[in-house]
Amino acid sequence: MRNTVLILAAALTVTPALAQPLPAPASYPPVTGTSGVISTHALSIEMADKIAHSAVDSCRKMGFRTTITVLDNSGALKSFLRDDGTGPHTISLSRDKAYTAITLANRFATSGTFATARNSTLGSPKTNIEGVVGVAGGVPIKYRGQVIGGVGSSGAVGGDKDELCSQAGIDAVADQLK
């Protein structure tokens, strides 16, 4: 029994010395730092609420009532405001506009530029990406070039007005996004 224990102990101490190091795995996106941790920035609840309230206030000043949805960069809900007198369809449409802005931010400045590129209108068939719509009103929120969220507005007369409302919300915190 004692010999078995000695042989096992010897094997465990010699094996690591004979082992070859594993090659570093290729990764995408590239790993930052030696610990394999990627640093990102996130949208705070305070900023999301300020964006939503500022967007609703700006829309009211233009004479419109709107529903505003603010999403984080993963598409999760951060803030939501539905102004008085908005239709029930504005709830899901404002979310989809914000989601479109996040999803396509690397190719299109807003959901409106995506809609224009696709020659899309509110009645057009949906894209093959769930939650993406071809109508204006969604604007990505960027911090130092990184998308940290998106704002979607629905309820103003025309997507171009919705886009103005969304942008007004972002403009209210622009000094914090530099």
Per-residue pLDDT tens over the stretch 11-65: 555 545 455 554 555 555 555 566 788 888 999 999 999 999 999 999 999 999 9
Identify whether 29 is preceded by a cis peptide bond (ω within 30 of 0).
yes
Tell me the whole-structure pTM to 2 decimals: 0.77
With helix as H, strand as E and coil as C, how does 120-133 read? CCCCCCCCCCCCCC
Contact, 170 vs 177, CB < 8 A?
Answer: yes
What span, in angstroms and rounded, lies between the C-alpha atoms of 147 and 142? 4
**pLDDT at 110 (0 to 100):** 86
Domain residue ranges in the chain: 45-176
Pick the CATH number of 45-176 from 1.20.120.790, 1.20.1290.10, 3.40.50.970, 3.30.450.150: 3.30.450.150
pLDDT band at 122 (very low <50, low <70, confident <90, very high): low
Strand-pair partners of 176: none
